Every structure is written in C-alpha cells, then in structure tokens.
C-alpha cells in the first residue's frame, strides 16, 4: 500500500486540479475579450448567448463634465454612456463595436463618452484624455477620439506622445497653438476630473464600463453580437 500511496495522492491532486479548472472555465462566462466586429452575424442568429443576469439597478451618480460629449439625438430610446481610457486595449477594441452599433441603430441610439483615464496603470492615458478634451473645446472631440483610438497601438509604446497627438490635431484642422494651451489648461483638467468623479460615484472600477439607460451592461456582453442583442432587448422592452 505504501508503495502506491504517493501515486494515489498525486492522482487525487491531478483530478482535483483538472476538475476545478474545467468547472471554473465552464461557469465563468467566456469571451469578454471583445472579439472584434468580425463576428457580424445577423441579429438573432446563433452565437454565444447574452449573459442573462438579473437586471442591475438604475444608477444616477453625480453629474460628469458639462456639456458631455454626445452622439445621437437627445430623445433616443437607448442611451449608452461609456467610461473609457484611450490607452486601454479593450477600449480600443470596443471603439469600432460602438461605431458599428451607432451605424446599425442610428437615431435610436445616443452615445456619451466619459473620460476615465487609469492613470497609475496607463502612463499616456491622461495625455490622451487631455488631447481629446482639448480638441473638444474646438468642437472636434469625436474626430480626435476616433484618431486616438484607431492609432492606439502606434502611440501607446512611445515615450513622448504629445507630438503624435499634435499631429492628429493638425490632421483634423485644429488651431494647434490653442490646442496646446488647452491641453494643459484648467478647463480640460476639470472636465476629466468631473467625468472621473461621475464614474467613481457610479462604481466604475475599470474600462470600458458601459451603462445603458442607467444600467451597467455586463462586460461579457460588450462584444458586437451580444451588445446588439442587449440593445434589441432594451428597445423591445421600451416599446420602440
């Protein structure tokens, strides 16, 4: 017995380890890696089911930067509010997904972007947020927002990102001198702070965090094919 006992112990540990790994990978909802919008299946087709969790409560929170950066009509039945960090890779992956939803649902969707730079984690996140806000002061927030996200991989490894963002400012036709002043100005800092404060009051801990009509959309529902279903369900329940 003593000769085979160690092998029994080893076997038990192996079975427990593999069994718990198998159980956990099955119970934890998979694929919140935001598979890019390549999974453009028609609505209602197969694909991974939307996580059916209990509806989270509607949250109000303190107001963020005013006026917020908004796309779409104020009376849209679906209001999406995204807390994003320009340097965060999943936010970069989520960007085209949200664009796709905007194109698909048109006037039924209103999108608000809130700054939530994760400063200790991402060294350039604050500079990126400032660049987008400075562009916003000249009415070109979304143009800058798109460029920064689309070129995320090109700038995030750089040591100094400011010249790169200045290049984007030129590209979208900003008054670059004013942009440079605004980037370091109080107004931009206050807007980022206000959005951060709002995020904090809503319990935002990471990015992207997305609220739809005041309720948080679970992270695992952010891939395009799932978000589409979530929006459709919300439209159905609002009777529009």
Partner 1 sequence: MKKLYVVAALLSLVGLADALYLTIEHVTGQSVRCTIISGCSAVLSSPYAVVAGIPLAAVGAAAYFTVFSLAILTLFGYHSAAKLMGVMVFTMFGLSLWLIYLQAFVIREFCQYCLLSAAITAALLVVVLISRGLRR
Is residue 205 part of the contact set for partner 1 (CB under 8 A)?
A: yes
Closest contact distance (angstroms) between CB of 126 and partner 1 is: 13
Rounded to whole angstroms, what are the CA distances from 198 to 60, 62, 96, 116, 134? Answer: 9, 5, 24, 9, 20
Name the 3-class secondary structure at 211: strand
Span interacting with partner 1, options 37-45, 82-90, 104-112, 176-184, rule CB under 8 A: 82-90
* Residues of span 131-190 touching partner 1 by CB under 8 A: none
Is residue 30 part of the contact set for partner 1 (CB under 8 A)?
A: yes
**Helix (H) or strand (E) run with residue 26 in it:** helix 5-27
Q: Which is nearer to partner 1, 85 or 133 (CB)?
A: 85
Residue whose pair of structure tokens reads 């509607």 in the numeric block: 58
Cα–Cα dist 172/154, whole Å: 18
Is residue 96 part of the contact set for partner 1 (CB under 8 A)?
A: no
Closest contact distance (angstroms) between CB of 205 and partner 1 is: 6
90, 96, 185, 214: which one contacts partner 1 (CB under 8 A)?
Answer: 90
Chain-centre distance for alpha carbon 20:
31
Is residue 32 part of the contact set for partner 1 (CB under 8 A)?
A: yes
Neighbouring CB atoms inside 10 A of 1's CB total 5
> Total binding residues for partner 1 by CB under 8 A?
36
Cα–Cα dist 77/60, whole Å: 17
Is residue 207 part of the contact set for partner 1 (CB under 8 A)?
A: yes
42, 120, 163, 239: which one contacts partner 1 (CB under 8 A)?
Answer: 120
Tokens representing 86 are 């320009």
Partner residues linked to 109 by β-bridges: 78
Q: Which is nearer to partner 1, 37 or 207 (CB)?
A: 207
Is residue 218 part of the contact set for partner 1 (CB under 8 A)?
A: no
Is residue 39 part of the contact set for partner 1 (CB under 8 A)?
A: no
* Long-range contacts of residues 150-154, Cβ cutoff 8 Å, at least 24 apart: 150/95, 152/86, 152/87, 152/89, 152/92, 153/92
Cα–Cα dist 168/7, whole Å: 63
Residues binding partner 1 (CB under 8 A): 2-3, 5-6, 9-10, 13-14, 17, 20-21, 24-25, 28-34, 85, 88-91, 118, 120-123, 205-209, 219
């Amino acid at each position: 017995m003593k000769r085979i006992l160690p092998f029994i112990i080893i076997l038990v540990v192996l079975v427990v380890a593999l069994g718990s790994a198998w159980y956990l990978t099955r119970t934890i909802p998979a694929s919140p890696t935001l598979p890019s919008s390549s999974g453009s299946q028609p609505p209602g087709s197969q694909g991974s089911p939307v996580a059916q969790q209990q509806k989270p409560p509607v949250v109000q929170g303190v107001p963020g930067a005013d006026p917020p950066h908004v796309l779409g009509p104020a009376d849209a039945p679906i209001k999406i509010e995204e807390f994003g960090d320009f340097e965060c890779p999943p936010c970069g992956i989520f960007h085209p997904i949200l664009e796709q939803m905007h194109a698909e649902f048109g006037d039924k969707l209103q999108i608000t972007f809130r700054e939530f730079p994760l400063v200790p984690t991402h060294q350039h996140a604050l500079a990126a947020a400032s660049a987008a806000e400075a562009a916003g002061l000249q009415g070109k927030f979304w143009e800058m927002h798109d460029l920064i996200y689309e070129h995320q991989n090109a700038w995030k490894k750089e040591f100094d990102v400011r010249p790169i963002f200045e290049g984007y400012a030129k590209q979208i036709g900003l008054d670059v001198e004013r942009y440079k002043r605004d980037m370091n100005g109080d107004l931009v800092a206050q807007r980022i702070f206000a959005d951060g404060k709002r995020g904090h009051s809503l319990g935002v801990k990471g990015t992207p965090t997305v609220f739809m009509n005041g309720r948080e959309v679970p992270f695992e529902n952010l891939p395009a094919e799932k978000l589409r279903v979530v929006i459709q369900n919300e439209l159905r329940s609002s009777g529009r």
